[in-house]
Structure 1
Amino acid sequence: MRGVVVGLLASWLWVTGARAQEPVAAAPEVEPPPTWRFKQKERPVKVVVLAGSIGAWPKQPYAERLAEMCRNVEVRNLSKVGFGALQLKQRFKQHFLENPYVNLRDPELEYWLVFQGGLNSVGTPERTNHDIRELFTLAHARGLKVVAFSLTPWGDDSDPKRWAGAAGLRYLRATRTVVDFVLGALAPQQALGDYARKRAAGADAPWQPEELPEVAVDLYRSSLRHEAAPLRDLEAMRTALSKDALWKRQHADLDETARAAALEADAAEAAEVPRWFLRTELRSFDHIHPNAEGHRLIAETACPRLPASWGCTCPNAPVAAESPAEAPASQPPRLPMTTLLLLYPHWLRVLLGAPHL
């Protein structure tokens, strides 16, 4: 029965949450008004996690792991399967900002948004960045600070519609556009295109503080990525690009020498596409959604960058050496927690939630 349930869940997530494409107009989902509230008074840092189906993963998601790592944090996960950047922005308004049970004026509390979304709308990266930028601005206007996780690696050769030949190069670049905006690595015109004209500061103005996160975590170029994947055949990439109608239109104005140089550069980039996929052993039921181990890596990658006020204890983080004057002479060397757990019997490691050690 458990296998049937997992299979049904995987099929549902695939149909609703794994379509990295342009958002289509649809009737808004009608949901009852929010009634949830933060309840842990001893945890003064209140964190709302907002993402698509990756954040909504039901088995040991990174939101739960952050709550375990950070002693001052209470987490509410508002992630929603199938939602792109626009829908997530609307969900943040409806389920957080308009929630009468969330007191944003309490001076003893600190509020943070952890955002990790946009894959479901990555096919239109400039519009996606526009919606994410508006979300950050909205959160800052209400007194929240923002931690932004980039998109995670995704893709596979078994998905030729999006990842074969020239299509793969287009999705790679679209993904990087969203990733690099979140990381603050692009100028407004690069990240937003024509949507830059909608900025209050003006299209040509530099980024304003409210438009970017306080903390940005690069998950795309992290250990989640299959960096050692074999390259695609370079000649096959040259052929695919040279026959692609869109590629030919985009380079029609170049002379023969410049077009040949562009073809060579783009073919080399397309050959590297598999090295930007999610590592095989970190996949759940498809090439998009990380499994429990992948979520562990997401949380551990983010942990060292999280604010000091969260009180996080990061696994495998190096312990600062004490100076000889400060260290007691009889103090024994400290063993890392992972080493100590290895000394426990297997049943106890399972009970403690560390069966993978």
Structure 2
Amino acid sequence: MDTTYAVLSEGLEKRFGEVHALRGLDLAVARGTVCGVLGPNGAGKTTAVRVLTTLSAPDGGSARVAGHDIVTEPAAVRRAIGVAGQYASVDSELTGRENLRLFAKLLGLRGAAGRARADELLERFGLTGAADRAARTYSGGMRRRLDLASSLLTRPEVLFLDEPTTGLDPGSRGRIWTAVRELADEGTTVLLTTQYLEEADRLADDIVLIDHGRAAHRGTPAGLKSLIGSYAEVVLAEESEQPVYFTAAGVLDWLTGAEPTIDRERRTVGAVATDAALTLPRIVRELDAAGVPVVDASLRPPTLDEVFLRLTGGGTTAAGRATGRPARPVSPTTAEESAA
């Protein structure tokens, strides 16, 4: 039996009527790591979690979790895993301590062992001071921490987190991040689905981009970023009108060969730059020659958000598509280079 991977799936298929949610999903999550699973809405992330945690039977393919087959050994899989879904599943009328003790009993941790484990987790997640308050009085972040604590009562080999910080404020999100990273450092394997690209960037050792039910791209955060080169972005003057944005987009289109993204709210125009020879001074020079009022400009490594948009085909905003791809500009500098 291969003990390298805590989660290993090959060709997973799942249909819901006419909807083909998983189309041959392959995953390989090494033990003791955090694997971030990203993808657009409807890509199959939550379906994958439900299948791998035995909550839904696959229609094809195979998978092993913690060394156990999800179809022929579902009970063994459940004993080896913890699951925290998109929404906290705590009982609002019970206190935090009562919630954990109840879950401990349901999981077979009875008596002093269950009480001790509940108290240990309350302390770990900063909930001791609120332990004897009804969960209905908890903030959203506190409820998520309590939910995460309940998923760890049996010290699972593999922890599945399905968008664990959805709707949380930055402070609460940061506390969840710290807890997840500590768990991985202690040897727990974490499979994390998330809509927050920064979350995956901060936590994941490896990332899988799922699109249309398949693993479209995989690699480390740094490795995925290297696939698309640098990112050129300019901030336009506050009084800039829409035609100016399209002129700026045309300049970046010509310089980078990539379709630009226009964000009127942030007053930015950006594009992936795969040409390593492209420099920031040249970008600024060409924009100035085209009459674009720029207040800031950068040429930097891409964020994971930009990698995601690029690799999943979502690289332009509606504003950028409104009039089609901007025309390539002709500036004095361009004319001089052409004559030369």
Q: TM-score, normalised by structure 1?
A: 0.27
Higher Rg = 2
Structure with more of its chain in helix, by fraction: 1
Q: What TM-score results when the alignment is normalised by the length of structure 2? A: 0.28
